[in-house]
């Protein structure tokens, strides 16, 4: 059974996305924005749990894959499973970068770089505004 949670319905229009998301979430997820570094409370999240897409709720990353990158954004070395995120080429800064999206709703999450820790060597540098953290209760971990 897949660990990815995929909600059944997504907003169909831009107005519906704006109604569903906060202004900061809308700017990041739907307009490819970037939050200021060091501003996300998720940078300091140390509990065990899952990081879901703030747009559609799909599970994207686990706390076990989170690491301190020193960049000012929540960083992960791998998605929760293959297919949780999708990538595309981003040339907005005049150089190619690999943009990361939620594979379910297409929401912009951030970028992936090849300067992360082992075992993958990858750094999924994500916007906290694109994520929703769901902690695992201590009783659920047994």
Q: How far is CA 23 from CA 27, 65, 126, 136, in A?
A: 6, 28, 17, 28
Active site residue 125: yes
Q: How many other CB atoms are found less than 10 A from the CB of residue 140?
A: 9
Spatial separation of the C-alpha atoms in residues 11 and 18, rounded to whole Å = 9
Find out whether the peptide bond into 33 is cis, omega within 30 degrees of 0: no
Catalytic residue among 53, 102, 105, 125: 125
Do β-strands 75-76 and 66-67 pair in parallel, antiparallel, or remain unpaired? antiparallel
Q: How far apart are CA 40 and CA 80, in angstroms?
A: 21
The candidate with the shortest Cα–Cα distance to 71, out of 113, 105, 31, 130, is: 113
DSSP state, residue 76: E
Active site residues: 125
């Amino acid at each position: 059974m897949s660990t990815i949670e995929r909600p059944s319905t997504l907003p169909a229009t831009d107005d519906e996305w704006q109604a569903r998301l906060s202004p900061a979430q809308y700017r990041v997820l739907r307009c490819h924005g970037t939050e200021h570094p060091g501003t996300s409370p998720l940078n300091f999240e140390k509990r065990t749990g899952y990081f879901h897409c703030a747009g559609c709720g799909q599970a994207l990353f686990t706390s076990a894959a989170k690491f301190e990158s020193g960049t000012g954004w929540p960083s992960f070395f791998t998605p929760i499973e293959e297919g949780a995120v999708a990538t595309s080429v981003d040339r907005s800064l005049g150089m190619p970068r690999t943009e990361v999206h939620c594979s379910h709703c297409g929401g912009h999450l951030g970028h992936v770089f090849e300067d992360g820790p082992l075992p993958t060597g990858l750094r999924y540098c994500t916007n906290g505004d694109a994520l929703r953290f769901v902690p695992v209760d201590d009783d659920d971990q047994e």
